């Protein structure tokens, strides 16, 4: 028999389940709750209780969203959030069956990452002035991101205790406080060693900090600062259109797959909990293979 609680009480219980049981980040939880509350506002306007919702009501809600010309990617995210919510309702016995089992997510378009070529990566990585401490910092950040596939937030939040240069690894704290251990590679490790030994102390300006990468004021860097650096060097070496902040991460994944890496290994290195997220990079890799086949096969 289903529980009797108000919609608000159920959403609060869902919030604590996400926070305490799944250990998701505040941003992820905020997104889930926002999507669920939008759905609840819709059903309450129809004088419905969420435990009595069927697939017809859900479909009407989705149709209304699409009329507002919300992108398929956003619609898919909302469906995913509300599906998670109904899985929670089922698990906690608020409902006896899940109406979202009958709903399929729309295909997303326009979200295939466009990586830089290996030649463009070389240009970008060689753009910073290594004679300058800021330039050497930027060079080291770019090398580390391309070597590990770290997210921008993971790079700027990186702390000294996460590095093990003797073993050549970095312990990354990813989404949902999930940890992964990723090899750095000799090239990035050499730059990190030199940066920490000769350049970081100059950026500290007699302050104390556990962050690896520092601003010119001795503070930890922001994502905006990282983005400005990428944009500046991309302009310098004539890369158009300007790459996104995550372009080095996208390029890391695509270049690994292009050179024969196993998809499961790439998933682990990127910190994806679901391999379907990683599979999007195989689309990019396949496009390159098609192009090579077309250009070099006599019947291409």
Active site residues per annotation? 151, 175, 246, 249, 272, 281
- What does the buried/exposed string (b/e) look like for 91-107 if buried means 16 or more CB atoms within 10 Å of the residue's CB? eeebbeeebbeebeeee
Residue 212 in tokens? 């690896």
Q: Are 246 and 236 in contact (CB under 8 A)?
A: no
3-state secondary structure of 266: helix
Residue 207 in tokens? 């302050």
Place of tokens 């350049």: 199
* Contacts of range 286-289, beta carbons closer than 8 Å, 24 or more positions apart: 288/258
Q: How many residues does the chain have?
A: 300
- What CA–CA distance (Å, rounded) separates 175 from 155? 13
* Contacts of range 65-72, beta carbons closer than 8 Å, 24 or more positions apart: 71/110, 72/106, 72/107, 72/108, 72/109
């Amino acid at each position: 028999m289903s529980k009797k609680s108000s919609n608000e009480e159920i959403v609060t219980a869902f919030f604590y389940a996400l926070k305490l049981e799944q250990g998701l980040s505040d941003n992820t939880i905020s997104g889930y709750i926002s999507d669920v509350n939008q759905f609840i506002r819709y059903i309450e306007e129809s004088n419905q209780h969420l435990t009595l919702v069927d697939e017809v009501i859900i479909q009407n809600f989705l149709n209304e969203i699409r009329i507002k010309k919300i992108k398929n990617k956003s619609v898919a995210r909302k469906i995913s959030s509300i599906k998670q919510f109904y899985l929670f309702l089922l698990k906690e016995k608020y409902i006896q069956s899940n109406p979202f089992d009958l709903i399929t997510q729309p295909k997303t378009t326009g979200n295939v990452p466009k990586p830089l070529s290996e030649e463009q990566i070389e240009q970008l990585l060689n753009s910073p002035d290594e004679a300058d401490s800021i330039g050497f910092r930027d060079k080291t950040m770019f090398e580390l991101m391309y070597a590990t596939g770290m997210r921008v937030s993971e790079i700027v939040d990186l702390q000294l205790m996460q590095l093990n240069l003797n073993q050549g690894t970095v312990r990354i704290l990813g989404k949902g406080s999930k940890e992964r251990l990723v090899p750095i590679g000799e090239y990035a490790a050499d730059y990190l060693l030199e940066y920490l030994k000769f350049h970081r102390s100059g950026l500290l300006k007699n302050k104390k900090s556990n962050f690896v990468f520092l601003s010119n004021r001795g503070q930890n860097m922001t994502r905006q600062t990282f983005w400005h650096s990428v944009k500046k060097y991309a302009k310098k070496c004539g890369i158009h259109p300007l790459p996104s902040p995550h372009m080095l991460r996208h390029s890391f994944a695509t270049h690994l797959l292009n050179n024969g890496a196993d998809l499961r290994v790439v998933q682990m290195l990127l910190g994806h909990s679901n391999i379907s997220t990683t599979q999007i990079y195989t689309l990019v890799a396949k496009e390159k293979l098609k192009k090579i086949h077309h250009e070099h096969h006599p019947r291409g």
